[in-house]
Amino acid sequence: MPELPEVETVRRGLAPVMEGAVITRAEVNRPDLRWPFPPDMATRLAGQRVTTLGRRSKYLLADLSSGETLLIHLGMSGRMLVSGDPLGRFVHDHPAPEKHDHVVLHMDNGARITFNDPRRFGAMDLMRTDESQAHPLLARIGPEPLGNGFHENYLVGALRGRSMPVKSALLDQRIVAGLGNIYVCEALFRAGISPLRRVSRIAAPRIASLVPVIRDVLRDAIEAGGSSLRDFRQADGELGYFQHRFDVYDREGGPCRTPGCTGRIRRAVQSGRSSFYCPRCQR
């Protein structure tokens, strides 16, 4: 599933052709994805100007001139692809429709945004913009890791008294938004903290040290266009490249990349998810 860097990469690719443009026509080619689409979605989108294209955790949020916000979740295999871009950033002509093109937005600037989702685990919803943060999918999400609300004192306080493994804590969207398996593994490696270590056994200064490390990992991933492991594509259809820079994720048995370390990357299963780490560097 795309994590924060992938969704932010898609947002940055879509923003130049969506923000300020009007949705002249919306094609909704099926009644649902993971959940049913909101009633009359095509009619409610048509004629609306996209005033802002934002992101909250792993969700895209398009604020519309109607006072509603379109929420988009990419799910496991969803892609938001741009064609016919008048700004010249995308060279793709409009392709022929494909089987899994479930929602297509025609913009007044000539661009077309296609939501393609073979597995149909994605989602779209419409809600009042002034009530968007109370939406059930957004209401309990923690601070953005690249925002001002995520700082050393916050993380130390949020993890105080918890006995769960630190990997599980960082994956909890109520504690910090948008982090997933890949980037938690990479951040814990850079911080030298084992994903198996329980939060209660980690000193507050080490917990605090995770904040700048998490930010650095996310910024590096966004700069590389995210990570493409299976289905993820940027808005122009190109792959992300951060997977070529993984230190531990999906490198079981490979050598540790820390200079002078002779360790090999191990994999452990935590709550049904694979954790990758170096047992020598991470304590």
Could you give the residue numbers annotated as active site?
A: 2-3, 58, 273
Closest by CA to 183, choosing from 246, 232, 139, 130, is 246
Choose among 61, 43, 216, 74: nearest CA to 224: 216
Beta strand 48-56 pairing with 59-64: antiparallel
Say what the alpha-carbon torsion angle 202, 205, 207, 208 is, to the nearest 10 degrees: 170
Q: Going edge to edge, which strands form the sheet with 79-83? A: 79-83, 112-116, 101-107, 22-28, 48-56, 59-64, 68-73, 123-128
Inter-axis angle of helices 152-159 and 204-223, nearest 10: 120
Which residues fall within 8 angstroms of residue 164, CB to CB, at 6 or more apart? 198, 199
